[in-house]
Every structure is written in C-alpha cells, then in structure tokens.
Chains A and B, each alone.
Chain A
Amino acid sequence: MTALVRSWQAYRAISGAWVRAAMAYRASFVALALGQVLTSGPDFIAIVLMFASIDTLGGFGLGEIALLYGLTGLGLGIADLVAGSTEQLGRRVRDGSLDTMLVQPVPALVQVAADQFALRRIGRISQATVVLGWALLHVDIDWNLTRVALLVTTIGSGAVIYLSIYVLGAAFQFVAGDAAEVQNAFTYGGVTLTQYPLTIYPVEVVRAVTFLLPLAFVNWYPALHLLGRDDPLGLPGWVQAASPLAALALAAVAGVAWRGGVRRYRSTGS
C-alpha cells in the first residue's frame, strides 16, 4: 500500500510542476486547451452534418450516438490526460533519458506518465463532457440507481481501458520505438470506431472489440442497457455490466507487457 501512496505522491509532484510551468504562460495555456477542443471536435460535427440528411444511422438516433460519442470520448480524454505522455517512450529510449528514471525510487511508468503532464488535455475532456451532457438531455433513459451507477462505472472503466492501451503502446515501443504511430490506430482509432453504433460494422469487428481488445466495453454494452436496446450479438445480459471486469483484465495484460518491456530494455548507452 505504501508503494501505491508513494507512486501517487510522485505522480502529483511531477505533474504539479508541469501544471505550474504551463500556468506561467496563462494565455498560451488557454489557447492550447481551446486548440484541443477544436482538434477533438470535427468528428462530432461530421456526425451532426450527416444527421442533416438522415434520421438514424445503423438504427440509432443522433442523441443515442451522442451518448456513445460522449462516453468513449470521455474515457480517452481522461486516459490521455493521465498517461498521454507515455507516447514519448520511444524518444526516451532513443535519447537515454529513461535510464535516469529507472534508478529513481518511483516506478518508471509513473514517471513516464507524469513527465510533461499536459493540463491542456482537459480540452478533449470538456468537449466530450459537453456532448455527453447534451446526449443525456436528449435520450430517453429510465433512470434508477443501478443505471446511474452503471453510467459512472462505465466512464471509469473506459478510462482504464484506454489507459491500458496507452501502457500497451508504450510497452510496444520498447520493441519498436519508431512504430509509435501504431498506437494511434487503437487509441484514436478506437474512439472513432466506438463513437458509432457497432451495428454498422461486420460482426467479426464487433467480436474482435468484444473478446480481443475490449473496446466495446468502453461504451457499447453499457449503453445498450441504458437505452434498453437488444444486443445484436445476443450475449447474456450481465455482459452489459461487465465493463469493470474487462477493464481490469486489460489492465493486467498491460501491466505484464510493461514489466516485460522494462525487463528486456537495453540502454542506448548515451
């Protein structure tokens, strides 16, 4: 337990220093955060433009798609804020700066995630939150305590699933440092895929994001329950509440991959 507390304290100390640094140039910070809102916005505007000429896409209305969009966007937004810096791992391996982290009494993963912490990434979180809020006002959900709990755990599980993908991506960079872009296919690609109802994809794709890389648990299965929709795969009902399990399983895999990466890490010597 003390190790966890110490990790958290280290994360706070490092990220706090970066936040203070960013706040030294407040106007620049505001501009960059607004820039993040802009860069995460086009997808949703595209969906709204599509709905200028259609009423449903894959059997889902605009409000329902906004719910999917908001949940997955928020999950990625939180993960990106917490651990987006891990994308830099390939560079750290190349320039040798990972070495200094490995000799500190704090887990290297915590340092890699906290270093260059960019508070401007709340831009994406705010954009997703606004869309999610709008969606909740426009869809018909029969609210009760379980559904509220489901919504909250879904956001948390989504963040953990995307966090695990960031860590998996970082672990992959131990093997192939130049191939950092592959990760985008799973993070931003995952968001693009899950912001639409999975009914528009072939069933093989739906199976893959259910059993292989559990992206469907970021929003799809819980949203089916919230909206009272049938599951096109016909999986048992408890699957719609299984997002935390999927998140934990992926996190465990990511943890093993990261340890494996650190173990086989060989310094560049520079």
Chain B
Amino acid sequence: MGPWRSEKSARRGAARDLRSRGRCGFRRYATYRLATAAGVFTNSVFGCIICFTYLALWQERPDIGGWDAQDAVTFVWIGQSLLMTVALFGGGFSDELADRIRTGDIAVDLGRPVDLQGWRYAEDLGRSAFHLLGRGVAPTLVGALLFSLAWPANPLTWLAFLGSVALAVTVSFAIRYLIGLGAFWVLDVRGFVVVIGFVQLFCSGMVLPLVVFPAGLETALRLLPFAALIQVPAEVLLEKSTGWGLLAALGSQLGWAVVLLGAGRALTRHATRRLVVQGG
C-alpha cells in the first residue's frame, strides 16, 4: 500500500482485501466440521420439538394468524436455518471487536488501509454464508424428510429469499457492530449482548411467529428492525409477501440496514475522534 499507487488501484486493492476477508470469515468457521455436524444435529432436534408444539397449536386454532399448519412447520425450519446465519444469539465478530477495543488493539485495526466497518462486514458475510450452507441446509433437509413443508410455488421466490437473507444478515451485522462499539464507552458489553439477544429472540419471530402474537403487539413488533432478521425473510419464502408486498418487505429491511449501518459509521467516527489508547 505504498504512496506510489494510484487512487484507482488502491481502491481495487481494497476491494480485493474485502473479498479475501470474506473468504477468511467463511473458512474460519468451515474448519470445525465436527462442531458443524453437532450443530446440525442440535438444530434438527430443536426443529422437530418446535414443529410438534406448533402442530398442537394449529390443531387448536387451524387458521391462527392467517397461516396454516404447513406454513407454521416450514417457518420452524426457516428459523433453524437462519438462527446461526443471522447470529441471533450474538457472537461472531462483535465479541472480538469489543475485546480489541478494550485492549487497545483497535488502534492497529484503525491504522489499516481498509474501512473498519467494511472490513468486519466482509468477514461477517463470509461467516453467514458458511452458516447458511453448513447449518441451514442440512437441518432443513431433515425437516423436509419428517414433515410436509410448504415450498414456494414460484421458483423466483428463492431468489427473493436469498436477497432477503442477505439483507437480514446486513441488519444483524449492523446491530452487532453497534454492540461491539459499545466497548468504547463501557468496559464489559456482555450485559448489552444478553439483553439484545433476548429482545432479538422475541421480536424476530424466532420464539413464536409474529402472526401468532396479539394483533396490537404484532403491529408494534413489525415496526422494529428485529422483524427483518427472521420473520420478513420467512414470509418471503412462504410467499406471504408477494408483488408490492414483497417490495415493501425488502424495502423495510434495506431501510433498517441503511439506518443502522449509518449509525455505526457515525458512532465509529465519533468514538475514534477522541480515542486514546493507553500505552504499555
């Protein structure tokens, strides 16, 4: 990265760095094959248990929330697939980011010729791609073998779903980036992580699809960014959001991604302007 390089080639170099960072993020998680197999097993067990509880619920109220039992069971496996992909329990890069801020190693990151947020985003995209393939596909196949799932009638829905998942990962990244940055102000961000984890479990639809919530609560939860993590992508695949509804769904995800990423950038600038790294 010498000064003799032109602006253009520097930009090209940065793009290459980000791509390689993304590949690293993928490989970092792909290394642990046994752990992945264990995770697939656990996701499958949980998926089955939740399916039976939803089937019992839909037996009592066959049209609850305008969904049928097949939609509900499909939702379970979408949720299990996205659980790790959108890192609903937190973790991934944000613990590391908080740690590097606490120890002062962040100064090294800020000195790199790539943007801190972009660099972490590239890494997290790689991680999420691995989790979607490694932890998402296999449990869904188990689910498809044991239960009757509602696959999309229109093959293009798969494309919209992938787009929606990418936006879900982006929103999730933006939230976790903000949490990690919290370490600039408090020493221990574990409290934030626990609280956000709890809020996300609920408000994303992971614990219970939002359509089952009492109507007023459902409307309120749909106004929050957390619905973009599970509920919105699931409704895209279930073809509950079609036509203009699909555009509105993807648009709401994009809107939250822009707002939260923007907040992360502003906060990074604010924090680093007065950053003092302790020596020693």
Question: Which residues of A are in contact with B by a Cβ distance under 8 Å?
Answer: 28, 31-32, 35, 38-39, 41-43, 45-46, 49-50, 52-58, 176, 178-182, 184-185, 188-189, 192-193, 196, 200-202, 205
A55 to B37 CA separation, bound complex (whole angstroms): 39
Q: Is the CB of B37 within 8 A of A179?
A: yes
Smallest CB–CB gap between B157 and chain A, Å?
A: 28
Also in contact, A178 and B32, with CB within 8 A (given A45-B202, A49-B213):
yes
A interface, over-half SS:
helix
Q: 14 new A-B pairs (CB below 8 Å) besides A189-B45, A200-B53?
A: A28-B188, A35-B194, A39-B197, A42-B202, A49-B212, A50-B208, A54-B57, A54-B61, A55-B60, A58-B56, A180-B38, A182-B38, A196-B56, A202-B52
* Cβ-neighbour of A179 out of B38, B53, B208 (below 8 A): B38
CB <8 Å contact, A178 and B38: yes
Within 8 A of A (CB), among B44-75: 45-46, 49-50, 52-53, 55-57, 60-61, 64
A52 to B35: give the CA distance in the assembly, Å: 39
A42 adjacent to B191 (CB under 8 Å): no
Q: A179-B34, A185-B42 are in contact. Are A39 and B198 (CB under 8 A)?
A: yes
CB distance from B113 to the nearest CB of A (A): 35
Give the distance to chain A from B222, nearest Cβ to Cβ, in Å: 15
- Closest CB in chain A relative to B224 CB, distance in Å: 16
**Interface residue total, chain B, C-beta cutoff 8 A:** 34
Q: Does B195 contact A (CB under 8 A)?
A: yes
Is the pair A41, B61 in contact by a Cβ cutoff of 8 Å?
A: no
Residue of A nearest to B146 (CB): A202
B residues with CB within 8 A of A: 32, 34-35, 37-39, 41-42, 45-46, 49-50, 52-53, 55-57, 60-61, 64, 188, 190-191, 194-195, 197-198, 201-202, 207-208, 212-214
Docked-complex contact A185 and B60, CB < 8 angstroms: no
In the assembled complex, the Cα of A181 lies from the Cα of B43 at a distance in Å of 10
Q: In whole angstroms, what is the CA distance A196 to B213 when docked?
A: 19
Give chain B nearest CB distance to A135 CB in angstroms: 18
Known: A42-B201, A57-B60, A200-B55. A35 touches B195 (CB 8 A): yes
Min C-beta distance of A190 to chain B, whole Å:
9
